Amino acid sequence: MFYGTDLKNRLLLGTAQYPSPDILRAAIAASGTEVITVSLRREGAGGAGFRDILKDSGCRILPNTAGCHSAREAVTTAQMAREVFGTPWIKLEVIGHADTLQPDPFALVEAARILCADGFEVFPYTTEDLILGEKLIEAGCRVLMPWGAPIGSGQGLRNIEGLKTMRAHFRDVPLVIDAGIGAPSQAAQAMEMGFDAVLLNTAVAKAVDPVAMAEAFSRAVGAGKQAYDAGLMPRRDMAEASTPVFGMAELLA
């Protein structure tokens, strides 16, 4: 549940870089997503056709501050997005490193504190750092969105142990894997680890068949969630026979 909103579909889908408006529309429908992320800059450049796609999708809009490199820039962008989209939800991105697109932890916390105090419901794009997560919660965030890998890299979950530790530490906080997911199997892995949702864009938008890939990711996320809820078997260091010894034939010499 994100800020009081319960989602049936745990896949959150970005709307950038699709080959055409029609493919974007079809991918959103095929994914079954209930939340789509939109950059304010993308909305401004997309024109009326893009706005119609957003409206017709029936999805909840999660505006983002993509491309912002300072707390001030992110706060201003978020305030503009709230006016344009009419929602207090904001995916907060404050980029601190040009090559990895890693968030700036200091500016991120500063911007989160300002926006939460201003009534925003903030979804911060962060790393798996526990201290940073604590600071964001203290600032008022009720959701954390750690990266799996750098944005658009498709590398999947690079720091599995760190993400597992984060999941265990923030037991009562919704956690969404955001960025770096490149294959449905990686999304399923995140859900099997107990994460609450997966947010992705490039892996669908840049696929040979974005519509089919959107459906594949939706199924993978659902399967991973179902597997986690069902209870995965513990990993063992040694083999354990599935066939019992009792009842087996005894061969006499």
> How far is residue 164's CA from residue 142's CA, in Å, rounded to a whole number?
19
User: Which amino acid is residue 211, in one-letter code?
Assistant: V
91 in catalytic set: yes
Q: Is 201 annotated as a binding residue?
A: yes
Element (H, E) at 176: strand 176-178
Confirm whether residue 179 is marked as ligand binding.
Answer: yes
202 labelled ligand-binding: yes
Is 162 assigned to a binding site?
no
* Three-state DSSP state, 32: coil
**Cα 19 from Cα 173, distance rounded (Å):** 36
The β-bridge partners of 125 are 145
- Are 181 and 14 in contact by the 8 Å Cβ rule? The answer is no
Exactly one of 8, 55, 91, 164 is catalytic; name it: 91
Q: Is 9 marked as binding a ligand?
A: no
Output phi, psi for 39, to 5 deg: -80, 140
For the annotated binding site for 1-deoxy-D-xylulose 5-phosphate, the residues are 152, 179-180, 201-202
For the annotated binding site, the residues are 152, 179-180, 201-202
- Catalytic amino acids? 91
